[in-house]
């Protein structure tokens, strides 16, 4: 089905704080024909995001970041999540690749070498949020990685973690990675690592 088979009848702001929540009245076409009943739905409306997998092909190492995540804590997962570098796209004409490079510097203190390799564009929670994430892979020198980073104005306390590819895959398979975007990026790396190492030789 297409977008013209959805009718938004009304929208109001239900909440506007760190996140925004919109309340919608709508109906949509049914597979069997006709229209659905009028539905009431709340949606968390969030800006587009970018995730960047930092990989060092010479050392065959992955650079990840670890930071406190309240939703993970409340959901019974690890309170400190091991993740790829990520951030929100500022309103305006900011390119996603520029966001990725900026976040690599802010969260990991690293400059990305050369062009970024696109991985995927995905919805994090299509039943509840508008957030879309564009994933990239970037080449870095893991020998320069380490320390605590983040913006003080945003109360960020981000630790850089460097792991060999083998260690990362083992951690992934043992459930040590719980963030969906990070999992997708690492499974992509597992499928494309040989080609990536030839490309970045």
Active-site residue, 66 included: no
Length of the chain: 201
Q: Is 58 helix (H, G, I), strand (E, B) or coil?
A: coil
Give me the catalytic one of 42, 45, 113, 154: 154
Q: Name the CA dihedral angle for 162, 164, 170, 174, rounded to a multiple of 10 degrees.
A: 0
Please give the structure tokens belonging to residue 187: 């499974």
Q: What are phi and psi of 108, to 5 degrees?
A: -125, -5
Please give the structure tokens belonging to residue 113: 């070498």
Please give the structure tokens belonging to residue 184: 């997708």
Distant-in-sequence contacts of 3-7, Cβ < 8 A, 24+ apart: 5/29, 7/35
What's the CA gap between 194 and 198, in Å, rounded? 6
DSSP run (H or E) holding 107 = helix 96-108
Q: How many helices (H) and strands (E) does the chain have?
A: 4, 11
Active site residues: 154
């Amino acid at each position: 089905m297409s977008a013209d088979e959805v009718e938004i009848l009304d929208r109001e702001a239900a909440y506007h704080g760190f996140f925004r929540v919109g309340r919608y009245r709508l109906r949509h076409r049914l597979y069997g024909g006709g229209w659905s009943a009028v539905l009431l739905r709340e949606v968390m409306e969030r800006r587009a995001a970018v995730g960047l997998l930092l990989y060092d092909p010479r050392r065959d190492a992955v650079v990840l970041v670890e930071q406190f995540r309240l939703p993970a804590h409340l959901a019974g997962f690890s309170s400190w999540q091991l993740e790829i570098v990520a951030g929100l796209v500022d309103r305006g004409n900011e390119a996603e690749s520029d966001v990725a490079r900026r976040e690599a510097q802010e969260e990991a203190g690293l400059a990305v070498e050369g062009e970024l390799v696109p991985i995927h564009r995905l919805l994090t929670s299509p039943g509840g949020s508008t957030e879309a994430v564009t994933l990239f892979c970037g080449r870095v020198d893991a020998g320069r990685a380490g320390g605590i980073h983040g913006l003080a104005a945003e109360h960020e306390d981000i630790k850089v973690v460097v792991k060999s590819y083998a260690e990362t895959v083992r951690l992934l398979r043992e459930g040590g990675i719980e963030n969906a975007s990070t999992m997708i990026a690492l499974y992509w790396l597992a499928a494309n690592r040989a080609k990536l190492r030839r490309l970045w030789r």
